Amino acid sequence: MGSSYSEAAFAPPPTLFLSDEDVAALADWPAAIAALRQAYAQPTAPAAVPPRSMARGDGLWLRGLSAVSPTGAHMGCKLIAASMTARRASYLVSLFDQRSTALAALIDGNRITGIRTAATAALAVDAAAPRRPLAVAVIGAGFEARGLLSALAAVRALSRVRVYSPTPQRREAFAADFHRQLCDDVRASSSAEAAVADADVVLCAARSRDETPVLQGRWLAAGATVVSIGSTLPEQREVDVDTLARSALIVADMPDEVTHDTGDMLAACAAGVAFEDWLHPLTDLVAGRLVRGPADIVLYKSVGSALQDVVVAEMLFERARASGRGDALVRSIVPVAK
């Protein structure tokens, strides 16, 4: 057993707790995207962002994602506890100081998950899509779809937006909300195919109830950039095999997990699509190491990464310290000598 330092010998700063309300007050899209751009522009060793782990029970699971930040400031972990029976989930992000190993922060991770997913997708689209105002299709009208479009609008001008949801009221409400917020030409479409027609960017944030893909590759225009965030487990589908076969570049935040743990890629493997030949890590795209032709289709496939969670959490933590936001815990973890 390790012997602990006395508090007199080593007294780390109090651990800061940030609630979901704190995260909402501290976050904005430009800051999140800038932090992620800096992280993905530099090489990261695979050991610094290991594969996620998942413990499964009867109708429940606990997923863990950990990473060492390339900033040199923190390392951290996100835990997600989910119950399919109760239809509930809890998210927690912890940050540890890299130098002292002290527990710097505990952060409600619910909103961070949405922020990092959308901000990283916006970063990928910004690096891949043509340098002009973008015609955007959105498949889905929920929380994730709203985040994707909002984040993209923070870095790129939009010429038009078409949204499809199988629920007419949801797609009409989405179009009305973003018409007020973003640009004049935002409309609901009666089908996913109609929304995708001639789009520069397709944002997928939806899965059908029976896991039939919601995006068909034959709908895509030459030169389209596709974002898919809705298939993160083997049993989930969002885009069809033709989408993968038509893509000249497939970019992934976690290439190995995307390849082996998502239903879309498993279906492509079963169909004989050798996508590994054109699969690349997101760092290659952000660093400018990938070349796309004007007619090439690019697919960004995301399962989420602890690097994203930790980098966004670091940004929030620094903002909280600067503004005095959050609650310092009365007691915390004291590092022990090893």
pLDDT by residue for the chain (338 residues), tens only, comes to: 444 444 445 678 999 999 999 999 999 999 999 999 999 998 889 999 999 899 999 999 999 999 999 999 999 999 999 999 999 999 999 999 999 999 999 999 999 999 999 999 999 999 999 999 999 999 999 999 999 999 999 999 999 999 999 999 999 999 999 998 888 899 999 999 999 999 999 999 988 778 899 999 999 999 999 999 988 888 899 999 999 999 999 999 999 999 999 999 999 999 999 898 899 999 999 999 999 999 999 999 999 999 999 999 999 999 999 999 999 999 998 898 88
CA distance 103 to 205: 34
Pick from 228, 27, 234: nearest CA to 113: 27
CB-based contact 163:195 (threshold 8 Å)? yes
Burial bucket for residue 329 (CB in 10 Å: 0-12, 13-18, 19+): middle
The CATH 3.30.1780.10 portion of the chain extends over 3-113+307-337
pLDDT given for residue 306 in this prediction: 96
CB-based contact 215:139 (threshold 8 Å)? yes
Helix and strand numbers, DSSP H then E, in the chain? 11, 17
pLDDT given for residue 9 in this prediction: 52
CATH entry, 3-113+307-337, from 2.60.40.770, 3.40.1710.10, 1.10.3720.10, 3.30.1780.10: 3.30.1780.10
- The identity of residue 315, as a single letter, is M
CB-based contact 111:23 (threshold 8 Å)? yes
How far does the chain reach from its first CA to its final CA, in angstroms?
A: 9
Pick from 287, 279, 270, 201: nearest CA to 247: 279
CA distance 89 to 319: 26
Burial bucket for residue 188 (CB in 10 Å: 0-12, 13-18, 19+): buried
pLDDT given for residue 184 in this prediction: 87
pLDDT given for residue 10 in this prediction: 63
At 290 the three-state DSSP class reads: coil
The CATH 3.40.50.720 portion of the chain extends over 118-304
CA distance 220 to 243: 8
CA distance 275 to 94: 35
Q: Give me the residues paired with residue 4 across strands.
A: 336
CA distance 70 to 84: 35
Buried b (16+ CB within 10 A) or exposed e, 228-249: bbbbbeeeebbbbbbbbebbeb
Pairing of strands 247-252, 279-281: parallel
pLDDT given for residue 234 in this prediction: 87
CATH entry, 118-304, from 3.30.360.10, 3.40.50.720, 3.30.70.100, 3.40.50.12160: 3.40.50.720
